[in-house]
Structure 1
Amino acid sequence: MRILITYGSKLGGTREIAGQLASDLRDEGLDAQALAPEDVGDVRAYDAVIVGGGLYANRWHRHARRFVHRHAQELRERPVWFFSSGPLDDSASRERIPPTAQVRALMEQVGARGHETFGGRLARDARGFIARSMVREHAGDWRDSGQIARWARGVAAELREAASARAGFESASQESPR
């Protein structure tokens, strides 16, 4: 089963989460790869898709949003999950943070099966006016690799369960009299 993990990332933290998800899914025996949206040719080459976006002022990164809009039809035809990254504290590790209204609307557009919010990362040497103003109080790495791995295992279990059910259905339909 081929799985695409794509992402919108401004400072690299969300890209790194996508990379860990791909690695964790490969550890689960799945063929997973993380690609930037601009490097994705045909979504139909994948059996499932995970789309992630960094959150900036409660808005998903524009590359993630554009990817969903551009591939909406193909995404509706396969299992899809979303993730967000961004809280610059440990809140995402302590409690489940629901998707923002914008992300929820995108999930509904493509029938996404689920969403997870992971903590973000802000380096002390971050560039940009807003990032530099936040560094004093929020610099750090709030991503929880255990949380990311648990979510990846849950996605893998759902995919295996769906594949098993599909195989059982196909086997039963081939055996039924005509």
Structure 2
Amino acid sequence: MNYLVAYISKTGTTEEIAKRIAKLLEERGDTVQALPISTIGELSGYDRIILGSPVNGMKALPEFDAFCKEKALASRASKDLFMVSYIFEKGRPIWKKALQKEKTRLSELLGARSAEIFGGRIDKEFPGFARFIFGTPKNLPLDIRNWEAVEAWAKDL
């Protein structure tokens, strides 16, 4: 099968997850390209497109949203979606609900076969005010990506 893992990344976290997914697909014998959305022209020739974006303000990045609407929707390839959020697993339920809503919106827009939200990574600890707003514990590790969850999802693609 011929896959494209198309992603946008602000800090490198989403890129690392995208490349891990691509590596797992290659290891099982699939043909895979992992590319930033800013470098992608045509989407023809792929059997399946995996789309990934970090979350900012409880939404996928605007450039990602535009890419999905302008390019991904035009492709006949099957689509899958992943999003990356530092607060998804450890934040307040209200934020989790907002992130789930965004995942559902994009998943329905794309007609995605599967969609997942993975934990992310930040460069420095949230200040106390942000921890209070998001409901994250004080000593939460800066990197809360769950590689086992990423790999399990990728194996099911």
Q: Distance in 2 between matches of 1:15 and 1:103?
A: 18
Decide whether the 8 Å contact of 1:9 with 1:61 is kept in 2: no
Task: State the partner residue of 1:39.
Answer: 39
Deviations 1:138-166 (A, max 9, x none): 561111111111111001xxxxxxxxxxx
Moved over 6 A (4+): none
Q: Distance in 1 between matches of 2:88 and 2:66?
A: 27
CA RMSD across the alignment: 2.7
Q: Distance in 1 between matches of 2:118 and 2:106?
A: 18
Structure 1 letter corresponding to 2:54? G
Task: State the partner residue of 1:115.
Answer: 115
Cα distance, 1:69 vs. partner?
0.9
Q: Distance in 2 between matches of 1:30 and 1:142?
A: 28
Task: State the partner residue of 2:3.
Answer: 3
Q: Distance in 2 between matches of 1:118 and 1:141?
A: 11
Decide whether the 8 Å contact of 1:89 with 1:142 is kept in 2: no
1:152 alignment partner, one of 121, 130, 154: 154
Task: State the partner residue of 1:22.
Answer: 22
Decide whether the 8 Å contact of 2:88 with 2:117 is kept in 1: no
Cα distance, 1:118 vs. partner?
0.7
Q: Distance in 2 between matches of 1:41 and 1:140?
A: 34
Task: State the partner residue of 2:85.
Answer: 86
Structure 2 runs not aligned, ≥5 long: none
Cα distance, 1:55 vs. partner?
1.0
Q: Distance in 1 between matches of 2:72 and 2:145?
A: 28
SS in 1 for 2:145: coil
Cα distance, 1:104 vs. partner?
1.8
Cα distance, 1:89 vs. partner?
7.0
Give the fraction of aligned pairs with identical amino acids, expressed as a percent. 27
Task: State the partner residue of 1:169.
Answer: none
Task: State the partner residue of 1:66.
Answer: 66
If the length of structure 2 is used for normalisation, what is the TM-score? 0.79
Task: State the partner residue of 2:142.
Answer: 140
Structure 1 runs not aligned, ≥5 long: 156-178
Structure 2 letter corresponding to 1:25? L
Q: Distance in 1 between matches of 2:22 and 2:37?
A: 15
Q: Report how many residues are paired.
A: 143
Distance 1:89 1:43, change over 3 A: closer
Task: State the partner residue of 1:165.
Answer: none
Task: State the partner residue of 2:12.
Answer: 12
Distance 1:62 1:112, change over 3 A: same
Structure 1 letter corresponding to 2:154? A
SS in 1 for 2:41: coil
